[in-house]
Each structure stands twice: as structure tokens, then as C-alpha cells.
Structure 1
Amino acid sequence: MESLQLATAIAKVLDKKKASDVKVLKVRDLTVLTDYFVIATGTSSTHVKSLAEEVEFQLGEQGVKPLRTEGYDSKNWILLDFGTVIVHVFYPEARSFYDLEHLWADAEPVDVKFEEDETDAQ
């Protein structure tokens, strides 16, 4: 799966599972770590965990597994590393504290059309 396609698919899974403030940032030109960050917020530690698990499950169904995962124990910030896409699922206070959007302010935001966006357009 191509990296933009993967990032978009992940963002849509997170949105469908009711994550808030889902963002995709293109960081390819800023770092050698990855091509895209997908950042989302859960409403509780349980929601954060279920969001990350849903991403793993949905992509696993397509044969795509993360290379590494971090943060399942704390459930404040779960990171899923898919190589070309790194997913950050935050508890609200952790997202505010780490403020990745500010840290990576030079990243190019990617406009993802979510299901409600598509139905609103009709």
C-alpha cells in the first residue's frame, strides 16, 4: 500500500471509530523517519486504546502490520509505526502537552475526506 493511501486509510478508520481532531501531516521532506504522521485524540484512556487496536485490526485484515507499537501500557499516547506512516493516538492532555502539530509546523497538512464530508457534499 502506498504511503499516502495508507495514511488516508488510517485516518478514516480513526474517524469512523469517533476519534477527534484527526490530522494527517506530510513530513517526508522534513525527516527520514517516515512520510506521514496521522494524529488523533481519544476521549478516554479506554478510547485511546480501542482506537489504536481498531487501526491494527483493520489494517491487519488487509495484511498490513505495524513494525513497532509503543504506549499500550500508559494509554496516554499510543504510537503505531507502519514504516512510511506513524500513527499517534493521544489522550487529550498528552496531545496538548506534546503538541506535535506545533513541533512539526512546517509539515504539509493533507486534506482527508471523511464520510460525513462526502455526504455533506451531496
Structure 2
Amino acid sequence: MTSKEMAGIAYKAIDEKLGKDIKIIDISEISILADYLIIVNGTNISQVQAIVDNVEMRMAENGIVNKKIEGNRNSTWVLMDYGDVIVQVFMPDDRLFYDLESIWRDGKDVDAEEFKKVP
């Protein structure tokens, strides 16, 4: 499975749980950490956890195992590492504080519409 297909599965899982302000950044040309970084807001801790749970479930259904998850059920920020795809789920204030979009500004913003077409 390609990293783009993996990112597509994660994107769809996030979208199913109505994640807000989804940002997909292609970091393949500037980092050895991953190919895609997906950043999303949840509106409350319950939604953050619902997004995390759904991403885990959809990725596992497709045979993709996470390498590491940072954060827990009460976290306002959760990092999910799938190797070539990293998903970061935030509460809005934490997202502003960490400002990952600025840190990874040399990456390429990817239109989410591209991932709606990925199987």
C-alpha cells in the first residue's frame, strides 16, 4: 500500500467523525520521518477521541498498524504514527500553540479532494 493510500484511509476516517480544519501536508521531500502529515481539530475531548478511535479502526481494517500513539483518552492532543503517515489530532487551542503548519511550511499543502478519490 502506498503512503498516499494510507493517508487517504486516515483522511476518510477523520472526515467520518467530522474533524474540523483538516490539513494534509506532503513532507516527503523535506523529511525522512514520513511522507504525509495530517493535522485536524476536534471540538471537544470526546470528538478528539472519536477521531483517534476511528482512524485506528479504519487503518487496522486495512492492515496498517500504528507504530506509536502519544496521548490518552483525556488528552487535548494525540499523535498517531503510522510510519509514512503521521496524524495529529488537536483541540483548537493546542493546535494554535504547537503551530505545526508553520513548522512544516516547507511541505506541500495537499487538497483533501485528492484523498476522497483514493480507494
Q: Same fold (TM over 0.5)?
A: yes
RMSD: 1.9
Task: Name the aligned partner's letter for residue 50 of structure 1.
Answer: A
- Alignment correspondent of 1:36: 36
Q: Which has the higher contact order (CA 8 A, sep 6+)?
A: 2
What's the offset of the Cα at 1:11?
Answer: 1.1
Q: Which residue does the alignment assign to 2:87?
A: 87
- Structure 2 match to 1:20: 20
Distance 1:33 1:18 in 2: 27
How far is the alpha carbon of 1:13 from its aligned partner? 1.3
Q: Is the 8 A contact 1:48 1:91 kept in 2?
A: yes
SS in 2 for 1:43: coil
Using structure 2 for the length normalisation, give the TM-score: 0.90
Structure 1 residue 84 displacement after superposition:
0.4
- State the secondary structure of the residue aligned to 2:5: helix
TM-score, scaled relative to structure 1:
0.88
Unaligned runs of 5+ in 1: none
- Aligned partner of 2:102 in structure 1 is 102
Q: Is the 8 A contact 1:11 1:23 kept in 2?
A: no
Q: Using the alignment, how far apart are the partners of 1:82 and 1:109 within structure 2?
A: 19
Alpha-carbon distance in structure 2 between the residues aligned to 1:90 and 1:112? 18
Q: Is the 8 A contact 2:37 2:86 kept in 1?
A: yes
* CA apart distance, 1:6: 0.9
Cα-to-partner distance string for 1:2-21 (whole Å, 9 max, x where unaligned): 00111122112101210001
The aligned residue for residue 63 of structure 2 is 63
Moved more, 60-69 or 78-87: 60-69
Q: Are the counterparts in 2 of residues 46 and 75 from structure 1 also a CA contact under 8 Å?
A: no
**Structure with greater Cα Rg:** 1
Kindly, what percent of the aligned residue pairs are identical? 35
